[in-house]
Amino acid sequence: MPLSPLSRQHETKGLEHERLLEQSQGQQALDHAIAAVDSYLKAVEKGASGQEAATLRQKVAYLLELGETIKLNTKEAAAGSRPPELISTRVLSVPERAILLKSSKLHNLRFPPWGPQHTKMAAEGDQSDPYIDPTPFSLSAEQQVIFAGWKRPSELVPGVDDRDPEWMMKAENENDLAQDLATDCSVVASLCAAAPHFTTKKGSLLSSLMYPFDHATARPKAVKNGSYRFRMNFNGCWRSVVIDDRLPATTTDREKTGFLLWIILTSHSDDIELDQTWDRIKKAYDDGNAILTLGTGNIPPEEEKALGLVREHDYAVLDLQSDEISRSLLIKNPWVDSLVWTGVGSSATLKTHTVGSTPDHATNQFRMAFEDVLQHFDSLYVNWNPNLFKFRQDHHFKWDMPDATEEMVFTKNPQFSILSRSRSPIWVLLNRHWQDGELEILRERKAERDRHNASLAHVSKQLGFMSLSIFATSPPGTRLPLPESHRCLHQGPYVDSPNTLLRYDPIPNTPQTLIVAQGELPLPTYNFTLSFFSTSPLTISKAREPLAYSETITGAWTRRSSGGSAAHPSYFINPQYSITLPKTTPLSLLLSTDVKDLPVHIALIYSSSPTKRITSISGRDILVSSPEYQRGCTFCQTSASQRLEAGTYTVILSTFEPGQLGRFVLRVSTDVDGVVVMPVMSSQAGKLRTVFPELAVFKEGEERLRGRVGIGRLTRLSVVARAAAALGSTAPGGGGGGGGGGGLRMKLELGTGSGKRVLGVSKGGEFTQDVGVLGLDEGEVDVDPEMVRRMGGLWVVLEQIGGRGGGKGVQVEVYSDGVVNLEGAGGWEGVDED
């Protein structure tokens, strides 16, 4: 039952407050959330019922929770208990909320989205019995050798008064975190780089990440039962993660070299403008708004030793310095004992870590010039402070991976329209949600790597790649069918990380299209989150199709239906489809295949019947065509001023060479409903192909050539001809006239002289100078051998007008369901009109 006018009026007000809410922060955002709730409740009260009322109540419940989050964030930021947080105030749809809930389940565990109730629970702490996290935790082979069980901190450091556990949260001296037997260097490197931001009394990051937290001392509180709650951002949102304080004990005394419980528990590259990148990163780092780490690639062993850099390893950046002549980074290798940079300008300090000794604070640190960093490291990872921006929008979506036939086009790719009123840069963060299937792939690939001593890069590639790009489209902000370099405003790199960041300068007041792309993602379905950051409001929506209606056809080039380009007489055995338009409309055609290097082409021709195959073609017959043969996919459309009249058209899909095989998808898009797309059955597919052994060449003064066709039984056949001068052409209509450059026509005649009978003609019996490929208008004809004998033979006749002779000739082929003989007459003979 539709909403009453009064209910609709209140719903409209609620939608307007939603729009203003997603462009607001702080108290202003809270005011719009409350106003939207009030409007939706009034809409229900004034007559909404059934599904409409249920939808409005769902929005009210979500807005109330969002309002609580906004209020809590504003209150804590005002009190100075934690840094202000830029949150997405966009109202999520029901499917998006379902995505976040589904992504809560990971490896048989549940990590719910963080809500106000978690903040309250975390602040109060847990006073229950000692907590034991039931999660299984795997150890590497090296760790298992010295593993002595899981123990509480008081068990690891004997003699400590259990009634005062705060000692675990105090650093007695400057912290120096190092990787010993921890197997993930990225975690340790990240903690090294982020540690200075965790513990500062002014705006400590840790205050919003780890609970319970003592704001007076700017450090976490110790709890007797060993239960700690973390607020971690992954799989699309902040989530609640509860762990215990048990740590792996060893049979050695390595763990006794230092102790700080909270840091133990918390455990991309692009083409860049050098000066701009340095200035942006340096300022952000100095202001405390950026955390930096670095990653090496697959360095050859000889370079690894010579340079002092470990291959496929992550490093922490501890400082950035610059003066008038140099720019450098202070870098730390998180490994306890390892190689350090020995290149030009190195200031490496390496202190060997011995068992039982106190770690030196300069262990494995070195300074490297910014230019050397860009040369020797594959990746520079920058974690930016979201509070650099004023506005944020989060969008969550599910993506079913496309079939191999559509991997090279954008028909199934998520695409978003982004409109900004200013030129202020827009930052877009793409996050791929982790799921169980990826862990299984990692385990399998790691085992394979260990067996074959492959690189880590080989393992990471098995999880696939993803990328973000911005395009200018026509109309602006609409979906793009396939990659087009001339439309690309900014191309992001393909990365094997679950996160990638794109920064670009928008065109004010003109929507651009953001496209999410992937390569080799192995699982059938993924969940993603796109977060948009800006200093001015944005209008973001799913990009719409430029033409409203689409039909999709699947097919294949087989051994019987792969005729090659129009340079081959077999062109017409290619797949053909009739397109019947009920009204005048623009039209676009998108062709994609499962063979990435297969050259393909589209040609659209007017047709008199949806069941009649095209058997001859010239350049003038083609209404719309794609560029000359493109690999894997191609696209064509009517021009901005061109619209096709109602009627029937035929599209021919071809590969470059005959016999090239592959599956394809054809997408037909129009602005009218009711378009009918049907395959046109082939008259030549599956037939015997017989080629005249000689080209038909007109001599000076000759206007008529004929070649005999011999048959032994009742036969159904068709004939095609192609000017040899155009046999090297790759697109229809590439040929000139017949053998001597004049107009040409073809006939199939039974008998000779005045009693002959014409069984078929090309082009309605008219001469054509733009030969392309000629076929009989009649398509196939049935021929009786007894009739051929009585009439005096069956002939293919070529006639020219205006020719001078001396051309390169015409190639003729016969397709038949029985054996034919083209050699009986000894080749082509010139004859006068009889």
What distance in Å separates the CA atoms of residue 247 and residue 152, rounded to the nearest whole number?
6
* φ and ψ at residue 26, rounded to 5 degrees: 65, -145
| Closest alpha carbon to 672 in 551, 606, 583 | 583
User: What is residue 450's predicted lDDT score, i.e. its pLDDT?
Assistant: 64
Class of 389-542 per CATH? Answer: mainly beta
Q: What is the average pLDDT score of the chain?
A: 84
Whether 792 shows a pLDDT value over 60: the answer reads yes
Examine the pLDDT at 269 and tell me if it is beyond 50: no
What pLDDT was estimated at residue 822? 84
Place of tokens 């009218």: 672
3-state helix, strand, coil in the chain (%, to 5): 25, 30, 45
How much is the pLDDT for 66? 92
Angle made by CA atoms 770, 774, 776, in degrees to the nearest 5: 140
Indicate the DSSP class of residue 481. S
Say if residues 401 and 215 touch (Cβ distance below 8 Å).
no
The angle at the Cα of 48, spanning 43 to 50, to the nearest 5 degrees, equals 145
Q: State the pLDDT at residue 805.
A: 64
- Phi, psi angle pair for 814, to nearest 5°: -120, 130
Active site residue 185: yes
The confidence score (pLDDT) of residue 600 equals 98
pLDDT above 70 (res 264): no
Distance CA 294, CA 268 (A): 9
Given its phi and psi angles, is residue 638 left (phi above 0), alpha (psi -120 to 50 degrees) or beta?
beta
Q: Which residues pair with 220 in a beta bridge?
A: 213
The answer to whether 573 touches 671, Cβ cutoff 8 Å, is no
Q: What is the pLDDT of residue 355?
A: 40
What is the C-alpha separation between 195 and 243, in angstroms, rounded? Answer: 20
Q: Which two tokens stand for residue 87?
A: 């949150």
Give the integer Cα–Cα distance in Å for 469 and 415.
10
- The yes-or-no verdict on residue 526 having pLDDT over 60 is yes
What percentage of the chain exceeds 70 in pLDDT? 83
- Report pLDDT for 268: 44
Is the confidence at residue 292, as pLDDT, over 70? yes
User: For 346-397, what is each residue's pLDDT tens digit?
Assistant: 555 544 444 444 444 456 888 999 999 988 898 888 888 888 899 999 999 9
Given a cut of 80, whether residue 645 has pLDDT beyond it is yes
pLDDT interval class at 203 (50, 70, 90): low
Cα 590 from chain centroid? 18
Among 106-110, 277-281, 342-346, 351-355, which stretch is predicted with the lowest mean pLDDT?
351-355
Q: Does residue 333 carry a catalytic annotation?
A: yes
Distance CA 178, CA 267 (A): 12
**Is residue 59 a contact partner of residue 91, using CB atoms and an 8 Å limit?**
yes
Q: What pLDDT, on a 0 to 100 scale, did the predictor assign at position 130?
A: 84
In this prediction, residues 119-137 reach a mean pLDDT of 76
Look up the CATH superfamily of 274-384.
Cysteine proteinases (3.90.70.10)
Assign 36 a pLDDT band (cuts: 50, 70, 90).
very high
Nearest to 381 by CA among 122, 185, 544: 185
Q: Given 32, 313, 353, 601, which residue is catalytic?
A: 313
Q: Residue 28 pLDDT more than 80? A: yes
Look at residues 553, 830, 598 and name the one whose alpha carbon lies nearest to residue 701. 830
Distance CA 282, CA 327 (A): 10
Q: Is the pLDDT of residue 779 over 70?
A: yes
Cβ count near 625 (within 10 Å): 20
Q: How far apart are CA 747 and CA 616, in angstroms?
A: 13
CATH class entry, domain 688-830: mainly beta
Q: Out of 17, 32, 118, 333, which one is annotated catalytic?
A: 333
Q: Go through the chain and tell me how many residues it has.
A: 834
pLDDT in tens, 307-326: 888 888 889 999 999 988 88
pLDDT number for residue 806: 61
Known catalytic membership, residue 431: no
Under CATH, which number does the domain 549-680 receive?
A: 2.60.120.380
What is the identity of the amino acid at 740? G
Task: Give the DSSP letter string of 406-425.
Answer: GTTSSTTS-EEEEEESS---
- Tell me the DSSP string of 703-729: -EEEEEEEESS-EEEEEEEEEGGGTT-
Instruction: Summarize pLDDT for 719-744 with one digit per residue, the tens.
Output: 988 877 544 455 554 444 445 556 88
- Name the catalytic one among 10, 17, 73, 185: 185
Long-range Cβ pairs for the range 784-787 (8 Å, 24+): 784/714, 785/711, 785/712, 785/713, 785/714, 785/715, 787/750
- State both tokens at 598: 């297969």
Which residue would you say has higher pLDDT here, 782 or 753? 782
Q: What percent of the chain has pLDDT over 90?
A: 46
pTM (2 d.p.): 0.82
> Residue 37 above 60 pLDDT?
yes
Cβ–Cβ contacts within 10 Å for residue 10, how many?
23
